[in-house]
Amino acid sequence: MFAVESRLTSAVMIGAAVAAAMMAIAGCATESGTAPGEQVTAAAAPELARDDCAGVPARERRLGLLAYRDAVGGTRSLKESTHVGKAEVSHARGVAIAVRAQPGMSAPWLTRVAACHIAFASAQPPPSNGDDANDPLLVPGATVRVEEAGTTYIVSIHVPDDETAIEVARRTQMLLMSPPGSAAAEVDAR
């Protein structure tokens, strides 16, 4: 009996060690967004927003990453390379945004804020001021992945094609060109 329990305990410990190693190799990353080609129906959007936004403050719901505009440290283009014969061809596939860590911030929290913001925006009528037109998270087909990198979080907005990647880059530039706090002040005033 003792030998069976010992083997079972060893198997459980080995399984736990393998799971921990796989998590360490995968890193601390979380992802949000709809699957490629998947659309949220208008009827399902309010329920999705309610589920995704439970516990997320109103400011983060409305602004998404703009709620942390003052913490954005920079951006870079996401590229995907493919080989055609001996030639290597690079395609734009989105943008990575560096967000400096703040108290209480984590990769899962930023992922949750992004998912909530996307769901909230899809459940609301488009704003009359056109703010959605400059929001990189609201580009159709975009997925969001957040990874921890020391004292920074890398928010990657990945899209399937070059044209959409250009639109994400344009919207990200608009986000960075807006004065810090301008969108936040407008939302807080509502």
- Residue 14 has what pLDDT? 37
* Residue 33 maps to a domain: yes
- What the block records as the tokens of 139 is 């580009």
pTM of structure:
0.67
How far from chain centre, in Å, is Cα 163? 20
Please give the residue range of the domain that contains residue 148. Answer: 29-179
Evaluate whether residue 18 is within a structural domain.
no
Count of the separate structural domains present in the chain: 1
Note whether residue 139 is domain-resident: yes
Gap between the Cα atoms of 102 and 110, Å rounded: 11
Question: Within a domain: residue 3?
Answer: no
Higher-confidence residue: 159 or 189? 159
2 domain-assigned = no
pLDDT by residue (tens digit) across 120-154? 888 877 665 556 678 899 998 999 999 999 999 99
Sheet containing 143-149, strands listed edge to edge, beginning at the edge strand earlier in sequence = 29-33, 143-149, 152-158, 87-100, 72-84
CA 40 to chain centre: 17
Asked, for residue 184, whether it belongs to a domain, the answer is no
